[in-house]
Amino acid sequence: MKFFSHELAIDLGTANTVIFQKGQIALDEPSIVAIDTKTGELIAVGDEALHMEGKEHQGITTIRPLSSGVIADFDACEKMIKGFIHKMSGGKKGFFAPKLKIVVGISKGSTPVEVRAVRDSCEHAGAHDLYLIHEPMASALGVGLDVLAPMGNMIVDIGGGSTEIAAISLGGIAEAESIRIAGNQITYDIIDYMARQYNIRIGFRTAEEIKCKIGSVLMDLPADEAPEPMLVQGRNVSTSHPIEATITYKDVACCIDKTISQIENGIMKVLERVKPEIYTDLMRNGIWLAGGGALLRGIAKRFSDRMNMTFHVADDPLKAVARGTCKAIEDTEKYKYKFLMR
């Protein structure tokens, strides 16, 4: 009897879930579900659920199942993975059965309980053959680095909920830091700043839009790279009347400075700890930036200036982990005694 066999490479991120299948991207949607408040049934998942966020009534609850890079709501996470798999199968039956192989990325800073939560939710969603991979290792593979070589490489993946920093050599992680500060914190910095500086109360989605459109980590960008100022509308914090303000990339650079410094400190810590031979390799190879945070304007330059090392931004940094996870699933035999975990 011939069985269906499906292989899914999953990056279960705080902000986005990306799934590769047969070497190609099969799903890229925000990590969010909308649940019927009374019955607990899934109403929508991913893009549809995102449109409902902030506009719910009592009958609907939207939940982001991950927080700081790890599962915060186990039940919602399981529903989300099932919902995504169902979506990818186009609602076809039999997609779960009988052999679903999954490789999924986990934060290097996960506690055993958090790892267990990922494993259980994938198994409940139908995984029969499950492997886990640390996200920075997946990023390194995704960037195209030779992770098995006796050569030091370093990855900084700035996601939504966590920043994963790791020095990699000989198929393992030599030194790492996982800090629970990343893109979401930057968005909250913008929300706070708008209230303090301009008296405008804005929501998470508006702040995300500001960050993605005009976000910069440098106070002075070259004229040809500087984005146009942006008009922001919202509610006056004190009067509740409508109010608007025009903000520039300098506003953003100023208010996110502290958070970016915390990420820099994390990178410094790893650089201080790596063995001298690996450090020398890093001087030669530079350090790779991945995750959505790598898209902030000027980030490679700022880090390079601060640390006197070359920083490169990965191609399509939002997909680095998923792409690497996909490479791992294609070569499970080669990697299973190295860094893939059961």
Ligand X SMILES: Nc1ncnc2c1ncn2[C@@H]1O[C@H](COP(=O)(O)OP(=O)(O)OP(=O)(O)O)[C@@H](O)[C@H]1O
Pick one of Mg ion, ligand X, none as the site partner of residue 292 (Cβ within 5 to 8 A by kind). ligand X
Q: Give the ranges where the chain is alpha helix by DSSP (H).
A: 47-52, 74-88, 112-124, 135-143, 183-198, 204-214, 249-255, 257-273, 276-285, 299-307, 320-330, 332-335
In the bound state, the residue with its beta carbon closest to Mg ion is 159
Q: Which is nearer to ligand X, 142 or 291 (CB)?
A: 291
Q: Which residue in 19, 53, 13 sits closest to 33, CA to CA?
A: 53
Pick one of ligand X, Mg ion, none as the site partner of residue 296 (Cβ within 5 to 8 A by kind). ligand X
Q: Which is nearer to ligand X, 134 or 327 (CB)?
A: 134
Residue 13 near Mg ion by CB under 5 A: yes
How far apart (Å, rounded) are the C-alpha atoms in residues 210 and 248? Answer: 9
Beta carbons within 10 angstroms of residue 34's beta carbon: 23
Pick one of ligand X, Mg ion, none as the site partner of residue 30 (Cβ within 5 to 8 A by kind). none
Residue 215 near Mg ion by CB under 5 A: no
Beta carbons within 10 angstroms of residue 22's beta carbon: 12
Closest CB 9 distance from ligand X, rounded Å = 14
Say how many residues touch ligand X, by CB under 6 A. 23
Pick one of 83, 109, 126, 183: the residue that binds ligand X (CB under 6 A). 183
Q: What is the CA radius of gyration of the chain?
A: 21
Residue 295 near ligand X by CB under 6 A: yes
Q: Which is nearer to ligand X, 158 or 167 (CB)?
A: 158
Q: Give the ranges where 2-73 is alpha helix by DSSP (H).
A: 47-52
Q: Which residue in 68, 48, 324, 30 sits closest to 183, CA to CA?
A: 68
Composition of the chain by helix, strand, coil, percent to 5: 40, 30, 30
Residues 131-160 that bind ligand X (CB under 6 A): 159-160
Residue 327 near ligand X by CB under 6 A: no
In the bound state, the residue with its beta carbon closest to ligand X is 292
Say how many residues touch Mg ion, by CB under 5 A. 2
Residue 296 near ligand X by CB under 6 A: yes
Q: Which residues are near ligand X by CB under 6 A? A: 13-16, 66, 69, 159-162, 182-184, 208, 211-212, 215, 291-293, 295-296, 318
